[in-house]
Structure 1
Amino acid sequence: MTKKTTFSFFNLKTVALLVAFFGFTAANAQYCIPVDDCTDGDLILNVEFAGIANPTDCSPGGYGDFTASVDPAEVEIGGVYTMSVEVGAGWSVETVGLWIDFDNNETFDPSEFYLVGTGSGSVVEADLAIPGDALVGTYRMRICVKADSVPYDDPCNPAAGFGEWEDYLVNVTDPLSTPDLDFSNSVTVFKSGENLNITSGSILGKVEVFDLSGKLIAAQNNIASSNVTINLSAANQVLLVKVQSEEGYTTTKKVIF
């Protein structure tokens, strides 16, 4: 049985002013790690949201971090997307909630909490509206299922009981115009030894490389070519590569280096 609700996100005009770095800072920052117990069937079995499709079982300590192993959800400003969470049947009422850290302050605030719904041994769904004043960027999302109720004001220290927590990334973009989309589709980023290679169907203007904490680790400006090679010492990590054409079109690619 599927239960579905509909909700919209908070207005972000004030919150947006606090974003220090166009969204990348949320990816692997110093977020709290909750500890819970999902061994009794109070768990997340599958998450589907805007390109994410991640079946799971009970994670060690009741917490699973999928920010590096699962591609971010891809959403557009002003879009509406269905969040679908399959929950176990450990209790007669399993409540699903989530936070998205839209201000990238490394804290899931009560104002960033959204109740998805309740169920038991079922799929719980809600339609999520991405606010029209959201900023472009990548944000951390924390999903929780708890027996009985979700502690909306405390995503770090779950109250006594049973449940599971999972973290993902959400990439928010502007609705792409045709030139933007053409440029994005023409860009390829790949690793070759210690080099990061970027090719495009357009003349490139600038490339910036960030780690998942939002730290800038490499940049090249005034490229004036359709391809560029950047030597990196980084290893065994996920990188975000922001590529800009001479015309100002921008796309961001994710690569495991």
Structure 2
Amino acid sequence: YTYYLSVKAKDAAGNTSASSNSLTVKTTGGGSTVNYCFASCTSGSEHISNVSFGSINNASARDNYHDYTTISTSVNKGSNYLLTVTIGSVYSGDKVTAWIDWNGDGDFIDSGEKYSLSVSGSTATGNITVPATASVSSTRMRIRVFYYSASDEPCGDKQYGEVEDYTININSSASGNSYSSENTVLSSSDMRVYPNPSNGKFKLEIKNGYEGKIKVKVLDISRKS
């Protein structure tokens, strides 16, 4: 998500300055502030022709790698979702693996982030349960179609197949908080500011699926703005 922030300063006499210039803050996940490893393929006819997951239903043509992180779906912690990948120009022995960076740390190597799909003909399917420990944020899903002789790794260049990336928005639960009012006040548990302390440059992470413009008042340790 992208947020637009401005701040005001107040002196000891209570005089308040004009609003500062707008600051754009992008929360982590989905590739906006996290750099994911390179992945691609160099040749081969087999490719990803369709991805269906949650509200994502994306048909595509052959490409070595395609960044579809502008396409997203929302999921809830503890809920189960069906991932269906259609393989174009399928070969016997083609495989499909998906990875989801549930903790938002910029890689796909943590336990529970890899899914080997079951392939039948040109269709690969897998059931994905969102971990209860998943970070409430936007994050990356990577899908790779590859020939069986290659290793199913999320990074690097393979000879055959295709790689596609998507964005997954993780909510706390199906009944979790949903903020829509312009006058909603977020509590400290709804956000995270880091690093702390900072040199004046910091990141703000909004939790629980809030979308929209927000105002932030920054105080120092003595509670001065």
TM range (shorter): 0.5 to 0.7
Q: Which amino acid aligns with 2:145?
A: V
- Report the counterpart of residue 172 of structure 2 in structure 1: 174
Unaligned runs of 5+ in 2: 1-25, 191-200, 214-225
| Alignment check: 8 A CA contact 1:95 1:150 kept | no
2-structure distance, mates of 1:150, 1:253: 41
| Alignment check: 8 A CA contact 1:144 1:150 kept | no
| CA gap 1:171/1:104 in 2 versus in 1, 3 angstroms | same
Instruction: Measure how far apart 1:253 and its partner are.
Output: 2.5
SS in 2 for 1:203: coil
SS in 1 for 2:144: strand
Query: TM-score, normalising length from structure 1?
Result: 0.58
| Alignment check: 8 A CA contact 2:50 2:85 kept | yes
Query: Relative contact order, CA 8 A, sep 6+: which one is greater?
Result: 2
| CA gap 1:151/1:118 in 2 versus in 1, 3 angstroms | same
Instruction: Measure how far apart 1:26 and its partner are.
Output: 2.7
| Alignment check: 8 A CA contact 2:102 2:131 kept | no
1-structure distance, mates of 2:56, 2:150: 22
Matches within 5 A, 1:220-231: none
Q: Which amino acid aligns with 1:50?
A: G
- Report the counterpart of residue 205 of structure 1 in structure 2: 185
| CA-based RMSD | 3.1
| CA gap 1:169/1:150 in 2 versus in 1, 3 angstroms | farther
Which one has a bigger Cα radius of gyration? 2
- Report the counterpart of residue 25 of structure 1 in structure 2: 28
2-structure distance, mates of 1:254, 1:73: 17
Q: What percent identity do the matched residue pairs reach?
A: 27
| CA gap 1:45/1:35 in 2 versus in 1, 3 angstroms | same
| CA gap 1:119/1:176 in 2 versus in 1, 3 angstroms | closer
Matches within 5 A, 1:1-257: 24-28=27-31, 29-37=34-42, 40-59=44-63, 62-68=64-70, 70=71, 72-109=72-109, 111=111, 112-120=113-121, 122-148=122-148, 151-152=151-152, 154-159=153-158, 161-177=159-175, 180-181=177-178, 184=179, 187=180, 200=181, 203-205=183-185, 242=206, 251-253=209-211
SS in 1 for 2:74: strand
SS in 1 for 2:95: strand
The structure carrying a bigger helix percent of its residues is 1
SS in 1 for 2:83: strand
Cα offsets for 1:170-197 (capped at 9, x unmatched): 111122448x45xx4xx3xxxxxxxxxx
Instruction: Measure how far apart 1:206 and its partner are.
Output: 5.1
Instruction: Measure how far apart 1:58 and its partner are.
Output: 1.0
| Alignment check: 8 A CA contact 1:138 1:169 kept | yes
Instruction: Measure how far apart 1:108 and its partner are.
Output: 1.9
Query: TM-score, normalising length from structure 2?
Result: 0.65
